Amino acid sequence: MKTRHIVSPQSLIFLSTFLSLTTATLLSSCATAYHRPAQGSFKEVSRLSIVITGKSKFKVLDSRATDLGPGVLFGVVGAIANSAITNSADSDKEKELAAQTAETSYQEAFKNELKKLLDESKRFEKIDFYNDVIGLKESSDAVLELVIQEWGVRVINQQTNQLAPYMVVDITMKDSKGKILWKERESQVGSSSHFFNEYRDKENLLKESMEAIVKDSAYRIASTLIYS
C-alpha cells in the first residue's frame, strides 16, 4: 500500500524560502575564488597589518551532524523539519556549556598565539594588529584579514558520537594596491575527541581542548605567512 504524505501550506512557504536561501548560498560559494599563496608570494611583504574579527558564538554540532531522521524518509520538507528539531537540541547543549565559554575570548587567545609565532620567526619587519578594518592607521605592504566564522565542538565519529574541537577562519590578504595574495577558508579540527558529557562535567577539559585548536589554527596560518 502506498503512503501519501500531506504537506501544509506553511511547510511549502518554508520550503520555498529554504530553497531560495540555499540557491543564493550555492551561487555565492561558486562566485568565491580562493587563492592559495605559492612559495615567494609574500617576499615583498615586510610590514604587515593583521585584522582579526569574529562575532560567532560557541557552537555544538552534535545532532546536526548525525541525525538524518525524517529528511531521509520524507525528502527536503522532512529535512527542514528535522533541522529545526536538531538545531534546538544542539542549542540546549550550547546552553549547558555556556558557563565555560562565556568568560573566555578565544579571539584574543588566537591573536596572542599568532603574534607570538610571528614575532619568534622574525620574518616581518613590523606587524600591527587591529580589531577592525576601520581602525587601520599604519601604512603596510599588505593587510591580512582573519574572520573567525565558527568555533566549538562537533561530531567526528558517528559511531561513537564523540565530539572534537573545531575552528573555521576566513582568510583574505591583499597588498597595498588591493591585489589578492591569499584567500582561503581554514577549517581546523582537533585530533582528540570526547563525549559531550565529558566536556560538560570534566573541569577544564573544554577549555584545554579549545586552547589546543586555537594554537593549531594559529600555527597553520603563521606557517603559511612565514614560508610563502
Which domains are present in the chain?
A: 39-72+91-227 (3.30.160.150)
Specify the pLDDT at position 21. Answer: 39
Instruction: List pLDDT tens digits, range 124-145.
Output: 999 999 988 776 777 899 999 9
Say if pTM beats, i.e. exceeds, 0.85.
no
Give the SS3 label for residue 21. Answer: helix
pLDDT value for 101: 83
Residue 155: enclosing H or E segment and its boundaries?
Answer: strand 142-157
Q: What's the pLDDT band for 47 if we cut at 50, 70, 90?
A: very high
Give me the percent of the chain exceeding a pLDDT of 70: 75
Q: What are phi and psi of 58, to 5 degrees?
A: -60, 135
Region 103-129: what's the mean pLDDT?
Answer: 93
Give the span between the Cα atoms of 142 and 44, in whole angstroms: 9
Residues contacting 87, CB < 8 A, separation 6+: 63, 64
